[in-house]
Structure 1
Amino acid sequence: MIEIEVKGYADDGVFERVRERFKLIRTEYHEDTYFRHPCRDFAETDEALRIRIRRFNGHFEAFLTYKGPKIDRNSKTRKEIEVPISDPDKHLEILESLGFEEVLTIEKTREKYYVDKGIIIGLDEVNGLGKFIEIEALAEGEEVVEETVRILREILESLGVKKFERRSYLELMLQKEVNHGEAG
């Protein structure tokens, strides 16, 4: 499956316009732990491996997710393989036993909104980074990526988004640490 995703910087005005126009699905708390591969540099290959713990409405879900390299110049579109896991601690132990190392954990609150069939908006408040808006759709093949990205960007622009961002929250956080001398 290909995740077609467009992300932009948001402010209170963008958040309010989404809340007025679209139906809230739910509010979630995400804890995303990213891993370094023992034999290749994901920063160079533009890949990611993470365990996401998602909490909402008193429920708990966890997923192991692989994200392939971005396949579009104007968005964060990439192949994504995600599987549910029942015991994140045991999966972490397996990854560490195989030589994977934790890079960073990103924490955020996400409000999810229904836009249209197959299109979801996420209003993200990311600890240490601020407010963002993501809009995504799933596709079977790459032939629809360009047109879908255009549609998703238009929706965000209609909500007042002026600045878009292709980098992941992990990339933004790592860059922030380098800029502020916090990287270790």
Structure 2
Amino acid sequence: MIEVEVKGYADDKVFERVRESFRLIRKEYHEDTYYQHPCRDFSKTDEALRIRVRRFNGHFEAFLTYKGPKLDSVSKTREEIEVPIEDPDAHARILEALGFREVLTVEKVREKYYVEKGITLTLDEVEGLGKFVEIEALTDDREKVPELVEKLRGILLELGVTRFERRSYLELLLGKGG
């Protein structure tokens, strides 16, 4: 599956416009722990491996996620493979036993909104970074990526986003000295 994603910097006005324009699905709390491969440098290959713990409405979910390199020069579009896991601590121990090294944990509060069928938008408050808005769609068809990127960028522009960001929260935090 290809995750087509466009992210921008947000402020209180962008948050207000989103809250007025779209239907809230839920508020979530994320802890994303990223790992470095023992034999290749993900910062050079533009890949990511993480364990995400997501909490909402008294519920707990965890996922192991691989993200491949970005597929274009404008957005954060990339292949994503995600599987649910029941015991994130045990999975972390397996990764570490195989030589993977924990890099950093990104913590954020996320509000997830429904835009239209197949498109969701999130308001993120990331610890140590501030406010962001992300919009995403999923596709199996690489041919549709440019059209989807333009559509998603257009929605963010209408919401008042003026500055876009292709780097992940992990990259931004590491750039600050993490």
Report % sequence identity.
74
SS at match of 1:166: coil
CA distance in 2, matches of 1:71, 1:154: 19
Cα deviation code 1:142-183 (max 9, x no counterpart): 100000000000000000000000000000000011xxxxx6
The alignment's TM-score, normalised by the length of structure 1, stands at 0.96
The 5 Å alignment of 1:94-113 reads 94-113=94-113
Amino acid aligned to 1:101: R
Cα offset, 1:69, TM superposition: 0.1
Count of aligned pairs: 178
* Residue 29 of structure 1, CA deviation: 0.2
**Unaligned ranges ≥5, structure 2:** none
* 1:16 is the counterpart of 2:16: yes
Report the equivalent of 2:74.
74
Matched, 1:52 2:52: yes
The separation in 1 between residues aligned to 2:71 and 2:110, in whole angstroms, is 25
1:152 is matched with which residue? 152
The alignment's C-alpha RMSD in Å is: 0.5
DSSP-derived class of the 1:167 partner: coil
Structure 1 gaps of 5+ residues are: 178-182
Question: Which residue number corresponds to residue 89 of structure 2?
Answer: 89
TM-score of the two chains, using structure 2 as the length reference: 0.99
CA–CA distance in structure 2, aligned partners of residues 176 and 69 of structure 1 = 22
CA distance in 2, matches of 1:102, 1:88: 13
Report the Cα distance in structure 1 between the residues aligned to 2:162 and 2:153, rounded to whole angstroms: 10
Residue type matched to 1:53 in 2? V
- CA distance in 1 between counterparts of 2:145 and 2:74 reads 10
Instruction: Tell me the equivalent position of 1:180.
Output: none
Amino acid in structure 2 at the alignment position of 1:164:
F
Aligned match of 1:129: 129
CA distance in 1, matches of 2:85, 2:4: 24
Shift, 1:72, TM fit: 1.0
- Could you report, residue by residue, the CA deviation over 1:18-42 in whole angstroms, capped at 9, with x for unpaired residues? 0000000000000000001000000
TM superposition outliers: structure 1 runs of 4+ over 3 Å: none
Give the Cα–Cα distance (whole angstroms) in 2 for the partners of residues 72 and 145 of structure 1.
9
SS, match of residue 176 in structure 2: helix
Distance 1:47 1:5 in 2: 15
* 3-state SS of paired residue (1:6): strand
CA separation in 2, counterparts of 1:134 and 1:21? Answer: 15
Secondary structure class of the residue paired with 1:173: helix
Q: Distance in 2 between matches of 1:126 and 1:7?
A: 13
d(CA) in 2 for partners of 1:73, 1:41: 20
